[in-house]
Amino acid sequence: MNNNNRQVFWKTLCSLDGKDIKKDCEVLGKTIKIPKYLYRYRPMDMKSIEALRFNKMYFSTANYYDDPFDTFINVDIRGMKDFFGIIKTDVDIPLKAEQLIKNFLDMMSVSLTDAEIAGVLSSLKNIMTDKTFVNFCIGYFRDIRNEIKKDTWSVCFSENGFNETLWLKYAEQYKGFALRYDMENTDNLLCNKQEKCLKCGIAQYGTLLYPIYYSNEKYNATRFAQYMAICTMLQKSGNIKYKQQIDSVFGSLVWERERIMLIKKECHKYDEEWRMVVPCYMTSPVMREWIPDAVILGLRMEDNEKNLITDIAKRAGIKNIYQSFINDDGELDAYLLN
């Protein structure tokens, strides 16, 4: 998919209201053009070698990504500071807050007298204009980003198996290898075909594959951060019974996590990235079993490492082994070894 196609996908994703998930998925699916092959770049370390041996593809949480701007939750911090500033100066705040509190208490089925509400208002304004409290709130919303990242699982691919930057960055400066996955070969996908799969969360909920959209525009996830912050507070205080009311206040946020995950800065557009995501909360380890269609050996792999990866790949049922090289046009290329 070129970036124009990815932009169509992104605009469609941002237009979904989350009221009918099945319909949303159908609409979004029409904008996704999955390529024949997708690639993963791997270093020569024990984790990658063991994953190759057993055809395991491990998902990572966003807090472990090497790029701090990847899955970055943009929060309107300046707007929050302005909000607290308005509380200090706006004479209508008590009236607005009174109605807000009454609505909230009504939602929670709590009754207070006018005098009690006035007392709450007075305390609330004193608290919310206190510098320490303001800094705490803003700091909490900054920190909630990491909490969200810890529950965001994905596996990254590229449409391009000969991206020189990705070979340098993720395949140990050409000393590693790349795995090629045939997206049309369902026989190579081992998930949901074994007895152990019956208890697997991925077997129940599946995984979704999306393209990354590249843009220097930022997606404003303030509302999602606010929702997650409140839910986290409720969970820590044991007041989960109020979550349904909170959900009704914020409305549908079904697609927010995908919107946060699937936009990256334009400088990364040559990565031609795709991302497989888990649409539910999972506990580690999260993985799929999938036989790659091919292994591409790196330019700078030592002979003993080439022999090791080739042997492991063949034992794992991988049929195609390629050796990368620089062709006569000065381009990265590969030829079939077996």
Express each pLDDT in 109-151 by its tens digit: 556 677 766 666 566 556 555 566 567 667 777 777 887 888 8
Question: Which of 7-16, 123-132, 246-255, 284-293 has the lowest average pLDDT?
Answer: 123-132
Tokens of 61: 């949480």
**Integer Cα distance of 20 and 132 in angstroms:** 43
pTM of the model as a whole: 0.81
Q: How far apart are CA 160 and CA 144, in angstroms?
A: 34
Per-chain mean pLDDT for the chain: 83
Please list, in sequence order, all residues whose beta carbon lies within 8 angstroms of the beta carbon of residue 246, skipping any fewer than 6 positions away. Answer: 227, 230, 231, 234
pLDDT of res. 292: 97
Per-residue pLDDT of 165-198, as tens digits, reads 999 999 999 999 999 999 999 899 887 777 777 7
| Range 262-273 average pLDDT | 95
Question: If pLDDT is split at 50, 70 and 90, which confidence band does 86 have?
Answer: very low
- Reply yes or no on whether the pLDDT at 273 is more than 60: yes
Each residue's pLDDT tens digit, 26-48:
999 999 999 999 999 999 999 99
Q: Tokens for 224?
A: 């999602």
